[in-house]
Chains A and B, each alone.
Chain A
Amino acid sequence: MDLSFSEKSAWGSLLGIAVASYLFFPDAIAHINEGGEPVGLIGRVIFIIGVLIAVEVVYHTLVAASSDSTESDERDALISLKADRNAGYALGFGAVWIVGLVMLRGTVADTNLPGTQMVAMYILLALTASEAVKLMSQLWYYRTSV
């Protein structure tokens, strides 16, 4: 497959986010559900973000070294704009979902509704999901028409 630097970059970032999310969210949500304090997650967050940044830097350096050019052009810019728009939709959907949960907490006597700490986790999840939507959109537009 003939991939530009921008496309390879998007694949690497998407894979990185997927692995980091897999390593963080299931355990973090279980931790909070068991009554643990969010401060107990700080070490894990710092470690995962640190490893993610290091891996991404190495990956992008290697990809840049093997690519004809790392410069972007008007098609890259258009694809990036459309992907940002889709990420905005995803983030908006997540925000409405979280606001809905918070509003229900005040009106419905349902102990299964999330507490403040879990709401913070959902916000982090929505931000991560919107970034994933952005990267997947980019990859989609690179392989189809734009």
Chain B
Amino acid sequence: MVLSDKRLMASTRVHNNIRKLRFANGEMTQQELAKQIGVTRQTVVAIEKEKYSPSLEVAFRIAAVFGEPLEQVFSYQP
């Protein structure tokens, strides 16, 4: 647990296109996205900045909001 905390401290290894997708979808605000997926706006900010990797459920909800498959929204670089 401690080792994984250190590894995650800089940023996560899960990358995303949420910012691009928000603007491509009528310049959706972070607040609007947060409301649709059931998290706080600060969590959306953290996900966009890749400081927090969302749960699989929230990731699917984000993809569903944009109508994209999960792999178009998130990618993982080991």
Residue numbers of A with Cβ under 8 A of B are 2-7, 68-69, 71-76, 82, 85, 142, 144-146
Interface residues on B, range: 20 to 34
Q: How far is the CB of A28 from chain B (nearest CB, A)?
A: 35
**B5 CB contacts on chain A under 8 angstroms:** 82
Kindly state the separation between the CA atoms of A3 and B42 in the bound complex, as whole angstroms.
7
**Is A146 touching B39 in the complex (CB atoms < 8 A)?**
no
The interface residues of chain B lying within 8 Å CB-to-CB of A82 are 5
Q: A87 to B9, alpha carbons, bound, how many Å? A: 19
Interface residues, chain B, CB within 8 Å of chain A? 1, 5, 8-12, 31, 38-43, 45-46, 51-52, 54-55, 58
Chain A interface secondary structure, helix, strand, loop or mixed? loop
Q: Which residue of B is nearest A75, CB measured?
A: B43
Complex partner residue of A144 from B39, B41, B43, B51, CB under 8 angstroms: B51
Q: Are B51 and A2 in contact (CB under 8 A)?
A: no
- A74–B52 alpha-carbon span in the complex (Å): 11
Assembled-state Cα–Cα distance A3/B46 (Å): 12
Q: Which residue of B lies closest to A145 (CB)?
A: B51
Cβ-defined partner of B41 (8 Å) among A68, A74, A145, A146:
A68
- Which partner residue on chain B sits nearest A69 by CB separation? B40
